[in-house]
Every structure is written in C-alpha cells, then in structure tokens.
Amino acid sequence: MNSIKDLESRFHSVFESAIDGIIIINQKGVIVDVNEATCKLFLYNKSELLGNKVNTLMPEDHAVKHDTYINNYQSTRNPKIIGIGREVVGMKKDGIFFPFWLAVNEINLESGVYYTGFIHDLTLVKQVEKELVTLNEGLEKKVVERTYDLEKVVNQLLQLNKKLEDEVSARKFTEDQLKQREAELKKSLEKEKELGELKSRFVSMASHEFRTPLSTITSSASLINKYKDEETQLQREKHILKIKSSVTHLTNILNDFLSISKLEEGKINIRLIECNLNDLVNEITDEIKPIINIEKTFEIKITLSDEMFITDPLIIKNILFNLISNAAKYTKSNGLIQLTVEDDLNYIHIGVHDNGIGIPEADQKHLFDRFFRAVNAANIEGTGLGLFIVKKYTELLNGEISFKSEESHGTTFEIILPKNHSEQK
C-alpha cells in the first residue's frame, strides 16, 4: 500500500514539476487533471479548468469541432493528432492566441479511456522566426536563398517531433534540434557577415581608386595654367602625361566594372577567328611593353608552331594585359617579368612569371574572388577584379588557369587553352 502511495507521490511530483504543460481529458473532452505549467500557460487556476471542456482553451473555430474530432477518432481509429503531434493554436484566459506543439497519447485504464496532451509553447520560436524574416528582407537573392534553406531546417525540425514518448525524452529531443538550428543560423549569419564585409571592402576600394587619379588630374590641370612660357614646356608636358596616365587608369577601372557586369549577365560574345599565335603574341607584347617600367626587365620566350588556330584574339589580349600589368605592378624596380608561350599537339600554354612580392599563403584561396586583394597589396593601386576577369575569360575559351606563388619570391600564372575551341582541358 505504501509503495502505491509512494508511486503516486512520485508521479504527482513529476507531473507538477514538468516545464511543459500536461492536460488529461476523458472521452467526452472534459478536463480531469492539469499540471501547474498548463495553468501558467493559459492563465487559469486549476479549479477553473477541472470539469470543463478542453475546447475552452481553443479558438472558437477549433473549439466547435473538437468533439467531432474525438468522436471520429473513437469510431474510425484514424489519428489526426493522437499519437502523431502537430502545431496548433491555443487561447489564453484573456483571449490572446499563442502557438504550441501538441502531442496527444491515448491511455487505457480500468476506470476508462483518457487522452493526455503534452503542450510545448512555441511563442519564442515563432518570435525568432519572425525576427529572422524581418532581418532578411531586402537582402540579395543569395541571402534570400540561404534564409529559405534556414526556414526549411526549421520546418523539418517541427516535422521530426513525432510520437514523443514521455516528457523527458520530448524535451531532450527539442533541445538537440534547437542546437542544430542554432548552428545553422550561426553559419548563415557568418556568411551574411562575410558578404557585408566584401561590400564594405569594395566601396572603400572603389572610393580610393577613383579619388587618387581624380586628385592628380585636378592638381595637374591647375598647375598647367602656371606654366605659360616656352621655358616651362617640359613641366607642362609632365603634367599632361600625368593627366593622360590618370585618365587611362580611370578608364581601366571602368572597363573592369563593365567587364564584370557583362560577364555576370552573360553578354560577352565570343568572336572566333583563325589566328596565327606567333603574330598575335608579338602584336600583344608590342602593345604591352610601354606599360612595363624601364627599371624592370621584361623577357619574352615564344616557342610556337606556325599553324593557325581558332580563338578570340580580343579575349586573349585582355587576359595577357591583366596578367602582365599585374606582374609589372607587384614587381619592384630591377625586377624580372617573363612571358612564355608554347604549344603542343592540342593546347597552347601561356606563362607569366614575376619575382615580385608574391601572394601570402592564407590569401591564395581567395585569389580569384571578386574585389579580393591580398594583405600585402593594400598600398598598391588596383580594384581586385583583374584575376576574377581573367579566370572568367579563360573559362569562356574552354581553358584553365593555375598559379604558384610564394610571398616575397614572386608568382607564376599558367593558362592552358585548347587549340580546338570545342575541346576542354
């Protein structure tokens, strides 16, 4: 007898101390017992609930159908919620609606059949979901896609909460899933932070890159007016050259931006023509040589057959201009820049080597990202778009680009292009 009382006492203690709400009803939907968590959740005293219909705690449109739900289950044994669980809406004593997860189990005792409902308040979960939706409004398409993936994780989390066997296992299961959701959210927020930093970096870079040449143009234009005599012709020419150089720099920046736009919109039209690569490379190097500082050595080694191959010469020019101008920019005085071009039966191999500042190992994985600049290039002019454009152009020609670099010891880029444009490396 004592053991039965002790068991009842233990059950009552667990029942009353449960964090989630527990309601027990009979076959007529009348409440026979509730725990303290239920009373706090719905703002009722226990005496106000015992003996009343459970649909007192439901919105009117659900309350009028509740008896039908019970009768249908008892006659068909087809569960809609019993033994399954789902999200529903409850109504507090003050008329306020709130969401919760309801799992119902059927209990058969000698005294009759009862239904036990386990109630887990989802108010905070819904608030978090609402805040997530609000935070993600107006972000770019990729951000929306990530948010959509996150919402799917939340929905999957809710769908996984089936057949909760008891209050302890149900709470543990929910905690585990919330941790997983938190990790997904953290990962998503880290990606958003990375995207924001990338945008800020671009704005800062663009502002700096435009300001410097514009300042040079302004100051040189002002100074030209002061040199009116024939004796100051050299000074005038010096400032005119500065203006031309700055305009060229601005033009290159704008061309980079336009190239990015066209590449991402798929508006680059490949114009394939038959070319002699020897003639093409010689033409390109003649145009490139003036951009190489006279204090730097520019070596060219071409080992090619005279056979013709089909390609887009303008795209190849863009690729080589970017690679060689980069090499010149990041190579100090008295440095060495080498261009090598050779071919085999099926492929053209183009190499650009310098002994300049090199690329830090930690930065190499981001080298072809838009707007990315290595930490040791912060004080050297550039948009961070050149290598991104080179990679895209190379891919348009069905080629591949690779590199080797060591900080303070230079960098080598290799482009491999198929002689037959329809082939891929």
For 61-66, the CB contacts below 8 A with 24+ separation are: 62/88, 62/89, 66/29
373, β-bridge pairs:
none
pLDDT for position 2: 60
pLDDT for position 314: 83
* pLDDT tens-digit series, residues 93-115: 999 999 999 888 888 888 888 88
Distance CA 65, CA 75 (A): 16
pLDDT for position 218: 67
* pLDDT tens-digit series, residues 36-61: 999 999 999 999 999 998 888 888 88
Please give the angle made by the CA atoms of 87, 93 and 97, to the nearest 5 degrees: 35
Q: Are 217 and 243 in contact (CB under 8 A)?
A: yes
- In 257-316, which ranges are E strands? 273-276, 297-303, 308-311
For 141-145, the CB contacts below 8 A with 24+ separation are: 142/195, 143/192, 143/195
Average pLDDT over residues 351-372: 88
* pLDDT tens-digit series, residues 376-401: 877 777 777 788 888 988 998 999 99
Domain annotation for the chain: domains and CATH numbers: 2-121 (3.30.450.20), 139-267 (1.10.287.130), 273-418 (3.30.565.10)
Average pLDDT over residues 228-235: 70
Task: List CB contacts of 320: < 8 A, sequence separation 6 or more.
Answer: 284, 288, 339, 350, 352
Q: Which range has highest mean pLDDT (171-175, 178-182, 229-233, 248-252)?
A: 178-182
Distance CA 173, CA 254 (A): 55
* pLDDT tens-digit series, residues 239-248: 676 676 556 6
Counting every residue written for the chain, the total comes to 425
Is the confidence at residue 264, as pLDDT, over 70?
no
Q: Could you tell me which residue, 277 or 249, shows the higher pLDDT? A: 277
Q: What is the distance, to the nearest Å, from the Cα of residue 228 to the centroid of all Cα atoms in its chain?
A: 57
> What H or E segment, with its residue span, contains residue 339?
strand 336-343
Average pLDDT over residues 129-139: 80
98, β-bridge pairs:
90
| Cβ neighbours, 10 Å, residue 245 | 14
For 264-270, the CB contacts below 8 A with 24+ separation are: 268/315, 268/393, 268/396, 270/312, 270/315, 270/396, 270/397
Distance CA 220, CA 237 (A): 10
> CA 366, 370, 374, 375 torsion: positive or negative?
negative
pLDDT for position 105: 85
Is the confidence at residue 9, as pLDDT, over 70?
yes
Q: What is the DSSP letter of 330?
A: T
Task: List CB contacts of 328: < 8 A, sequence separation 6 or more.
Answer: 291, 292, 293, 296, 298, 337, 354
pLDDT for position 214: 59
Q: Which range has highest mean pLDDT (65-69, 182-186, 214-218, 403-407)?
A: 403-407
Is the confidence at residue 201, as pLDDT, over 90?
no
* pLDDT tens-digit series, residues 281-311: 888 777 777 766 656 777 777 777 766 778 8
Average pLDDT over residues 187-198: 68
370: confidence class by pLDDT, cuts 50, 70, 90 = confident
Is the confidence at residue 153, as pLDDT, over 70?
no
Q: Could you tell me which residue, 264 or 390, shows the higher pLDDT? A: 390
Percent of the chain residues topping a pLDDT of 70: 71
Distance CA 78, CA 67 (A): 15
Token pair for residue 176?
């585990």
pLDDT for position 36: 93
Q: What is the distance, to the nearest Å, from the Cα of residue 303 to the centroid of all Cα atoms in its chain?
A: 44
5: confidence class by pLDDT, cuts 50, 70, 90 = confident
Average pLDDT over residues 131-153: 71
- Residue-averaged pLDDT of the chain: 78
Q: Which range has highest mean pLDDT (4-13, 154-163, 377-386, 387-396)?
A: 387-396
The full DSSP string for 86-151 is EEEEEE-TTS-EEEEEEEEEEEEETTEEEEEEEEEE-HHHHHHHHHHHHHHTT--HHHHHHHHHHH
143: confidence class by pLDDT, cuts 50, 70, 90 = low
Is the confidence at residue 203, as pLDDT, over 80?
no
CA distances from 41 to 20, 46, 60, 173 (A): 9, 12, 18, 21
Strands 297-303 and 336-343: parallel
> What H or E segment, with its residue span, contains residue 337?
strand 336-343
Q: Are 333 and 306 in contact (CB under 8 A)?
A: no
Is the confidence at residue 195, as pLDDT, over 90?
no
Is the confidence at residue 405, as pLDDT, over 90?
yes
